[in-house]
Amino acid sequence: MANPATTEIVWDVIEKELFAVLGMVTKDREARTVGIVYIVKDQKLYIGTGLDTWKARHIKLNPNVSITIPIAKRIPFLPWINIPQATITFSGTARVSPAVEVEYDLLKSVFHHLADDQEYMQESCLIEVIPVGEFITYGVGVPLMKMRQPELARGRASVNKG
């Protein structure tokens, strides 16, 4: 079967979602994950957080991250039928920037009304994630009933749009 995921389809899904799991490595080389809320701009994901959060500290030490975006799937009117969640996973390079060094429009997109709170912004930062390589997908671009068949539900697509 042809690859069900295309770069355009994957980016469309990423832009419609808002929750993901961010994977990183600690200074002791231990794997860690955390749930995050993100926005997309110019094929980059942006995450707002505190300057002193452990995710910001870990990423400053090692910018290699992974992101997994779960996409809930249900059959309308038959919610008791279990369908696995669709997922998009990719590796990326992350950069932490203090909020006071970031353009206001981007801060407003990520932090909303808090972007106007100077005290809050002094203690905040923006994590920028640039996807690299390929998206690895499950259930993206396939009908719901094919999601129970891994060989039909898996896909790969370049992270870069044409």
In 3-state terms, what secondary structure has residue 97? strand
Give the model's pLDDT for residue 105: 97
Residue 97's Cβ-count burial label (10 Å; 0-12, 13-18, 19+) is middle
Please tell me the distance from the alpha carbon of residue 69 to that of residue 18, in angstroms, as a whole number.
9
Q: What is the pLDDT of residues 10-22, one digit of tens each?
A: 999 999 999 999 9
Residue owning tokens 């909303």: 112
Q: Can you give the CATH number for the domain in which 89 is found?
A: 2.30.110.10
Query: Can you list the positions of beta strands (E) in the chain?
Result: 19-25, 31-37, 39-41, 44-50, 64-71, 86-98, 124-138, 154-158
Query: Whole-model pTM?
Result: 0.92
Q: Is pLDDT at 1 greater than 60 in this prediction?
A: no
> In the prediction, which pLDDT does 3 show?
65
Give a yes or no: residue 75 inside a domain.
yes
Residue 2 lies in a domain: no
Q: Please, what is the average pLDDT of the chain?
A: 92
For residue 147, being part of any structural domain is answered with yes
Query: 113, 110, 130, 106: which is closest to 49 by C-alpha?
Result: 110
Q: Which domain holds residue 57?
A: 7-155
